Structure formats: C-alpha cells, structure tokens
Amino acid sequence: MTTDPISDYLTRIRNAIKANHRLVEMPSSKMLVELSKLLHENGYILNYKVEEETFPKTLKIALKYHPTNKMSAITKVQRVSRSGLRKYSPSRELPRVMNGLGIAIISTSKGLMTDKQARKENVGGEVICYVS
C-alpha cells in the first residue's frame, strides 16, 4: 500500500519511459483510471485497460513512442500537489504548462480535467500534476 498513489502512478510512468518499456502495470483506482483517460484523450499514451480478474484490480497502460526516433510522447511528468503540501488554484490563475504545449491536470468539483477545460468551464481546484 502506498501513501500517495498518484505519485506512485507518475513515478512508474516516468521509470518505464526511461527504460523504454511499452507497457506499465500498477494497482488500479478510480482516480488513476481518470488520469489515464485524460492522458489518452490528450495523446500522451496509446491506451489503458483495467484488469478486473486480478485482486487488487490492475491498471495497464500502453505508452506512446514516436515510430522513427523512439522518443516518448511524454517528456516530463511532475507532481505538483502532494500530501504534505496541497496546491490549489482559482480558475483565473490556472497554470499554463510550456506556454500551452503541455497540460496541467486539475481536480475540480466537476471531476478531473485539464487546465484548458477548467478555464473553459470557469472552475478552479487542486493542481495534481504537469505533463509535457
């Protein structure tokens, strides 16, 4: 059992990218599935799948690499809000990652969303991580 599953999720992805792995497996939760969904929708991962047969449920993520130069679609993953220091941001002060080229994942009252979606819906919340 990890004390911070989101940090564990991001660290597993970061380590798999450094080792050029195609697939990452980790224990699943609703929050991690939503994070994977956002990364998939924004083109940072190929696909994700929850294995229901295993206990605990396993989340499998297929990482995305460029076909010719084998570079990962994810260049940097950074945890912002931690269990020891939470970072909240109102809708008008949401961070921009790499001047709009990356995404910030925000936990709002309407669920997890990217910084662009949160600005569009005019909601703020806890800044979970930056992905570029």
Q: Would you state the pLDDT for residue 1?
A: 58
Q: What is the pLDDT of residue 26?
A: 96
DSSP code of residue 59: E
pLDDT at 17: 97
Fold of 77-131: Dna Ligase; domain 1 (3.30.1490)
Q: Fold for domain 5-63?
A: Ribosomal Protein S8; Chain: A, domain 1 (3.30.1370)
3 state DSSP class of 75: coil
User: Rounded CA gap, 130 and 117, in Å?
Assistant: 14
DSSP per-residue codes, 7-50: HHHHHHHHHHHHTT-SEEEEE--HHHHHHHHHHHHTTSEEEEEE
pLDDT digits (tens, 9 = 90+) for 1-29: 578 999 999 999 999 999 999 999 999 99
State whether residue 83 is helix, strand or coil. Answer: coil
Give the residue extent of every domain in the chain: 5-63, 77-131
Closest CA to 111 of 101, 121, 103, 102: 121
- What's the chain's average pLDDT? 95
Residue length of the chain: 132
pTM, to two decimals? 0.94
Give pLDDT tens digits for 86-114. Answer: 999 999 999 999 999 999 999 999 999 99
